[in-house]
Amino acid sequence: MARYRDNIFFVHVIWLILALILFATGILIGHFGIVDDACLSVSVAENEEIGQLMIDECSAENIESNLRGLTSRPHLAGTAAEKENAEMLVEQWTSYGFDSVRLLDYDVLLAYPDMDNPNKVMITENGEVNFTTALHEEILRPEDDHPDVVPPFNAYSAKGEPEGPLVYVNYARSEDFDFLAKNRSDINITGCIAIARYGKVFRGNKVLNAQAAGAIGIILYSDPADYASDGDISVYPDNWWLPDTGAQRGNTFVSDAKGDPVTPGYPAKPYMYRISDVETALPKIPVHPIGYGDARYLLSEMTGDEVHSSWRGHLDVTYRFGPGFVNPQRKVKMSIHTSREIRTTYDVIGIINGAVEPDRYVLMGNHRDAWVYGAVDPSSGTAVLMESARVYGEMLKKDWRPRRTVMFCSWGAEEYGLLGSTEFVEEYQKVLGERAVAYINTDIAVRGNYTFRAKTTPLLQQALFEATKKVPDGETGELTVYDIWRERYPDNSGNGLPYVPVLGSGSDFAPFMYRIGVPCTDMSYYYDFSLSISSYPVYHSVYETFYLMKTFIDWNFWRHRAVARVMLEFSRDLADSVVLPFGCLDYAEKLKSSIDNLNEEYGDKMRTNSITFDYVYSALTNFTTAAEDFKNRLQEIDQNDPVVVRQVNDQMIQLERAFIDPAGLPDRKWLRHVVFAPSSVNYYAGDAFPALVDALYQIDDDPDQITRWKAVEQQMAIIAFTIQSASSTLTDVTQL
C-alpha cells in the first residue's frame, strides 16, 4: 500500500511538473508570442514577397462582381436583407479557411417610416391642402425600382403634424442661427418650421440647432449648389449629379455615446437596461428630407427680405428669409409618422489567428447596411473588404500566416449612428483595450475617381504612406497611389507630403479611437475637391446604384482595387512586422502643430486672461525628447529577443491609449480622447484638443466670463498633464 501511495505521489509530481511546463509555455506564447526562433524575425524580403503576392492576387473583376451582388436589392439595417448579407459573409469567410467566423447580434433602437402613411410636407390654405411633396423619388432607370426601397425619411425624427410659417435658415449651422439672432431681430423662429439645405455640417446638428432656436419642425433638401454644381444641366441618369427628385435619407442622432441610443455605454443585449428614448438626445421635433424640385416650389412662395449672397443656393428662385408665404393665408404643414422600434442588427467577425502573437489584433472593417442600394455608401467598401478577405484566404492556402491576429469586421446599422461597431466595442472593450493594435476602416471605398485620401492618427501615418508607395495608382497603373495622392491633395505646409486630415467622425473608427484609444485609419478614393460639393451628389438617395458607379465613377474598378491593395499591404505590415511600424515622432509633430495653431488663434486672448501655453510647450518638449530617444532605441534593439520586441511594441500600443481620459470630455463623457474628437458643432469634422476648443467657442458672447475662463484654464492643465503622461509610455520601462 505504501509503494502504491509512493507511485501515485510520483505520478502526481510528474503531472504537476508537466502542468507547470505547459502553463509556462502558454504564458510565453500568450505574453511574449514565442513559437520558435524561426518565427521571431521575418526578413524584409519575405515580408515584401508576401505583400507583393497579395497585391497581385487582388482582382478588380472580383470587386465589381461583389458590388453588383450587394446592390441587387436594398439592405436597410434591421431588415431580412441585412441579415442575409451577414450570413453570406459568414459562409464566405468560413470557406476561405478563417480560424473563426462569428455572427454577433445586438437588439438596438432603429427607426422606419410608415409605408401605409408616408411622410410628407404640404402647403395649406385655410385648412385645405394645395401642394404636397413627392412621397417617393421618381424612378429614372429600371434598377431604381424595387419593392423594398424605403421612401425618403430621416431616422429618429419625432412624430407629429406641425403647421406654421416657413423660415429659411441656410445650412442650419450654429453660425446661421447666430446671424439671424444678432442681425434679424424681426425674424422670430419660435413656432416656425425651418427649411435648410444639406451640407457643411452633420444633419443631426442642423436639427438640434433648429430645435434650440424654437422651430417646431425642419425640412431638409439638397440644393444644386452643393449636389449638382458644375453648371451642367445633365443629371442622373445621364450624369452623376443629383436630379431634382432625389432626397437624402440619414439619421439625426447626435450624441457623444454613439451606438444604440437607449443603452449608452453598454452593449445592446437582452439583459441590458434601456432608458426611454425621450431621455436621449434624439430629436424632439419632426424632420423630413425632400428633393430640390419640391424645395424650389416652397422657396418660390416665400415672403420676406432677400437673403445675402452667401445664403443663396443655385435654384432659379429668389431666396428669401420668410417667415411665411407671399399669400398670408398659406402655411406649411409637416406630416411625419416615422416610428422607433427595437430590432436586431448583426456584426460579422472573421478571425485569422496570428502565428506568433495571437493575442495582438489588427482589425479591418466596413459597415454593411445601406439606406437603399448603397453602391457608394457602404457597398463599395464592403466589396473591397470581401476581396481583401479572399486574398488573405489565398495566402493561408500558401501556408502563410500573419504574425499577429487579423480580424475582418462587417458592421451592422452604422447608418443609424455607428450602432454595430459601437456595440462591439462596448461589449469587448476590456479585451480590445488590451490587445488591439490598430483598426483600419473603409466606409466608402470609392466616392470619386480623382485621388486617394485617408484620415489617420499620426501613429499610423508613415506606415500608411509606405503602403501607398507600393500600390499602383487607380488611374493608369504607371504611378503609385502615393504619387497621385501627394500631387492632387498635397499638404499646404510645404513638407512635400500628402495632406492627412484629422479623423473627425461619422464612421466606425470612432468608438475604437475615441472610446478606447485604438489607433485608426479611414481610407477612400475621392472626387476632385475643387468641385466644392458637400458629398458625392446622389448621397443616400435611390439613385446610388451599381449603374451609377459603373458608368460615372469607376467603370473598370481600378480605384476600388487600389483601395483594396492599400488596405491589404497596410494591414499586412501592421500584422507581420516584428517591430510595429508606428511613428511616435509623427505624433509629436502633430501635437506641436496643433498647439501652435491654437496659440496663433487664441494665444493673445488667453494671455490677456493670464493663461499661457508655457506648461503645454514644456510637456511637448519632453514628449518630443522621449519620442526621439525611443526611435533611437528601436534602431538598436535585438529583434530576435522576444522580451525586448514585446516590450517596445507594447509601449507603442499604449501611446494612443495614453491620450484617453477616463473621465471623458466635459459634457461628452463617452468621448475620451484628449487630443482628437469630433467637433461639437459638426459631428463629421474633427477638432484637435476638442475640450479646449469647446471651452473657447464663442467665449466672448458668454456673460459668465469668469466661469468660462476657468474652464479654459482647467483644459490647459489637462492637456499639459496628458502630454507629459503620454511621454512616460515611451521612456525605458525601468524609469518613470
Per residue in 428-471, pLDDT tens? 999 999 999 999 999 999 999 999 999 999 999 999 999 999 99
Distance CA 237, CA 358 (A): 49
Q: Pairing between strand 128-132 and 120-125?
A: antiparallel
String of b and e for 115-137 (b: at least 16 CB within 10 Å)? eeebbbbbbeeeeeeeeebbeeb
For position 686, what pLDDT does the model report? 72
Angle between helices 642-657 and 584-608 in degrees, nearest 10: 30
Distance CA 241, CA 227 (A): 6
Mean per-residue pLDDT, 183-205: 95
Any residues with CB less than 8 A from the CB of 168 and at least 6 apart, and which?
194, 195, 196, 299, 302, 307, 311, 319, 320, 321, 322
Distance CA 36, CA 472 (A): 36
Distance CA 339, CA 352 (A): 40
- Cβ–Cβ contacts within 10 Å for residue 515, how many? 25
On whether the CB atoms of residues 259 and 417 are closer than 8 A, the answer is: yes
Distance CA 9, CA 473 (A): 69
3-state secondary structure of 523: strand
Per residue in 324-353, pLDDT tens? 999 999 999 999 999 999 999 999 999 999
Residue 570 has pLDDT above 60, yes or no: yes
**Mean per-residue pLDDT over the chain, rounded:** 92
Mean per-residue pLDDT, 91-107: 98
> Please, which pLDDT band fits residue 683 given cuts at 50, 70 and 90?
low
Angle between helices 614-634 and 642-657 in degrees, nearest 10: 160
Which ranges in 374-514 belong to alpha helices (H)? 379-397, 419-435, 461-469, 481-488, 510
Length of the chain: 736
Any residues with CB less than 8 A from the CB of 615 and at least 6 apart, and which?
716, 717, 720
340, 342, 336, 341: which is closest to 159 by C-alpha?
336
Per residue in 620-670, pLDDT tens? 999 999 999 999 999 999 999 999 999 999 999 999 999 999 999 999 999
Per residue in 464-499, pLDDT tens? 999 999 999 988 878 999 999 999 999 988 889 999
Grid coordinates given for 52: 507583393
Grid coordinates given for 234: 445633365
3-state secondary structure of 399: coil
**Rounded to 5°, angle at Cα 50 from 646 and 41:** 30
Residue 1 has pLDDT above 50, yes or no: no
Question: Alpha carbon 698 to chain centroid distance?
Answer: 27
Q: Which residue has the cell 501511495?
A: 5
425 burial level (CB within 10 Å; 0-12, 13-18, 19+): buried
Residue 407 has pLDDT above 90, yes or no: yes
For position 180, what pLDDT does the model report? 96
Mean per-residue pLDDT, 280-300: 97
For position 130, what pLDDT does the model report? 95
For position 231, what pLDDT does the model report? 60
> Please, which pLDDT band fits residue 42 given cuts at 50, 70 and 90?
low
Angle between helices 44-57 and 558-576 in degrees, nearest 10: 150
For position 495, what pLDDT does the model report? 86
Mean per-residue pLDDT, 186-211: 96
Extended beta strands in 561-694, E state: 676-678, 686-688
> Please, which pLDDT band fits residue 531 given cuts at 50, 70 and 90?
confident
Question: Alpha carbon 552 to chain centroid distance?
Answer: 25
Mean per-residue pLDDT, 129-158: 97
**Rounded to 5°, angle at Cα 628 from 624 and 630:** 115
For position 684, what pLDDT does the model report? 64
Residue 124 has pLDDT above 70, yes or no: yes
For position 29, what pLDDT does the model report? 37
On whether the CB atoms of residues 203 and 252 are closer than 8 A, the answer is: yes
| First CA to last CA distance, the chain | 59
Mean per-residue pLDDT, 34-56: 68
Half-sphere CA count of 83, side-chain side, radius 13 A: 10
Residue 12 has pLDDT above 80, yes or no: no
String of b and e for 70-106 (b: at least 16 CB within 10 Å)? bbebbbbbbbebbbebbebbbebbeebebeebeebbb
Grid coordinates given for 120: 410628407
pTM score, whole prediction? 0.92
On whether the CB atoms of residues 182 and 204 are closer than 8 A, the answer is: no
730 burial level (CB within 10 Å; 0-12, 13-18, 19+): buried
Half-sphere CA count of 235, side-chain side, radius 13 A: 20
440, 522, 502: which is closest to 686 by C-alpha?
502
The more confidently predicted of residues 493 and 97 is 97
Three-state secondary structure of 313-369? CCCCCCCECCCCECCCCEEEEEEECCEEEEEEEEEEEEEECCCCEEEEEEEEEEECC
On whether the CB atoms of residues 543 and 242 are closer than 8 A, the answer is: yes
Q: Pairing between strand 217-221 and 193-197?
A: parallel
Any residues with CB less than 8 A from the CB of 586 and at least 6 apart, and which?
458, 459, 461, 462
| % of the chain surpassing 90 pLDDT | 85
DSSP string across 184-245: -TT---TTPEEEEESBSB-HHHHHHHHHHTT-SEEEEE--HHHHS-SS----TTSSSSPPTT
Q: Pairing between strand 520-526 and 330-335?
A: unpaired
For position 235, what pLDDT does the model report? 95
Residue 5 has pLDDT above 70, yes or no: no
For position 441, what pLDDT does the model report? 98
Out of 52-56, 522-526, 532-536, 611-615, which region has the weakest mean confidence (pLDDT)?
532-536
On whether the CB atoms of residues 685 and 206 are closer than 8 A, the answer is: no
Distance CA 593, CA 613 (A): 13
Three-state secondary structure of 594-619? HHHHHHHHHHHHHHHCCCCCHHHHHH
Distance CA 719, CA 723 (A): 6
Residue 32 has pLDDT above 70, yes or no: no
For position 534, what pLDDT does the model report? 86
For position 3, what pLDDT does the model report? 40
